[in-house]
Structure 1
Amino acid sequence: MGKTPRDILRTKEKLAVELGLLDAVEGQILDAMVRHPILVERPIVVAPKGTVLARPKEAVAPLL
C-alpha cells in the first residue's frame, strides 16, 4: 500500500489527540493503532492487484 502509520491515522479522532499522536513518532502511532483500532483510517481494501486506502471510494477502481 505504501502508507505509513501516520498516513492512515484518523487525525480527527478524539482519541488520537488525547494520546498525543499528532506529534508522535511512527512506532508510537502503530502501537496505539494495535491497542485502539478505531485510530486506523478505513476501509483498507486488499485485492490480488494490490492494497489501497479506499478513501475516496474511487481509489478502489484500479484494483478491479
Structure 2
Amino acid sequence: MIKIYHNPRCRKSREGLEVLEQSGQDFEVIKYLDKIPTKDELNEIIGYLGISPIELVRKNEAIWKEHYKGKELSDAEIVAAMVKHPKLIERPIVINGKKAVIGRPAEKINTLL
C-alpha cells in the first residue's frame, strides 16, 4: 500500500497528493501533524529514503532556527527533534513498499508508481 505523509496546509504536499490521486492507485494519507511518527517510524522512513536524518529537516522553519541551527546534533537528536516538532519534517513523503521519496518536486513521486 502506498502511503503519503501529508500536510494539507502545504502547497507542495497538496501537489504530491494530486499526483497520487491522478495515478488511480490505492493509497493511504497520513496527516503527520495529527498522527506524529514515532522515532522508530521516522528512522524506518529515513532508511527507505536512503538519506541522513538532517536531509529530512525543514531548515527554514522558525523552530529549527531558534532551537537547533548551528548545534552539533547526533542523528538520534535530529530524529527526536522531528518527533517533538513534526513541522520540521520535509513533506510530502511518499512510500511504496520499502522505497520512498520526498515529493519535491511532485513529479518525483512518479518514480514509485
Structure 1 runs of 4+ aligned residues shifted over 4 Å read none
User: In 1, distance between residues paired with 2:54 and 2:111?
Assistant: 23
User: CA offset at residue 21 of structure 1?
Assistant: 3.8
For the aligned residues, what is the CA RMSD? 1.6
- The answer for unaligned runs of 5 or more in structure 1 is none
Which amino acid is 1:31 matched to? A
- The answer for unaligned runs of 5 or more in structure 2 is 1-48
Match of 1:20 in 2: 68
Say yes or no: does 1:55 pair with 2:104. Answer: yes
Greater RCO (CA < 8 Å, at least 6 residues apart)? 2
Structure 1 residue matching 2:91: 3-state secondary structure: coil
TM-score by length of 2: 0.51
TM-score by length of 1: 0.85
User: In 2, distance between residues paired with 1:8 and 1:23?
Assistant: 16
Answer whether contact 1:42 1:54 (CA < 8 A) is retained: yes
User: In 1, distance between residues paired with 2:109 and 2:96?
Assistant: 9
Match of 2:12 in 1: none
User: CA offset at residue 4 of structure 1?
Assistant: 1.4
Structure 2 residue matching 1:42: 3-state secondary structure: coil
Q: 1:10 aligns with which of 38, 47, 58?
A: 58
Higher Rg: 2
